[in-house]
Copies of this chain bind each other. A is one copy, B any other.
Amino acid sequence: MKTKQPKFNITELKQILQGYSIHPSHQRLQILMYLLEHKTHPTTDIIYQFLAKKIPTLSKTTVYNTLKVFLAQGIIVELAIDEHELRYDANIKPHAHFKCKQCGQIYDVFAKSLLFNMDFIDGHQVTAYQVYLKGICKNCL
Interface residues of A (CB under 8 A from B): 78, 80-81, 83, 86, 98, 100-101, 107, 109, 111, 113-114, 116, 118, 121-138, 141
Contact = CB atoms under 8 A, between A and B. Distances in A.
29 contacts: A78-B83, A80-B80, A80-B83, A98-B121, A98-B124, A107-B122, A109-B121, A109-B124, A111-B121, A111-B122, A113-B118, A114-B121, A121-B133, A122-B138, A123-B137, A123-B138, A124-B138, A125-B136, A125-B141, A126-B133, A127-B134, A127-B136, A128-B133, A128-B134, A129-B132, A129-B133, A130-B132, A131-B132, A132-B132
A67 B127 CA distance: 31
Contacts of A137: 123-125
A100 B116 contact: no
Main DSSP-derived SS at the A contact region: strand
A116 B111 CA distance: 12
B131 A131 contact: yes
A127 B116 contact: no
A122 B98 CA distance: 10
Contacts of A80: 80-81, 83
A35 to B, nearest CB: 17
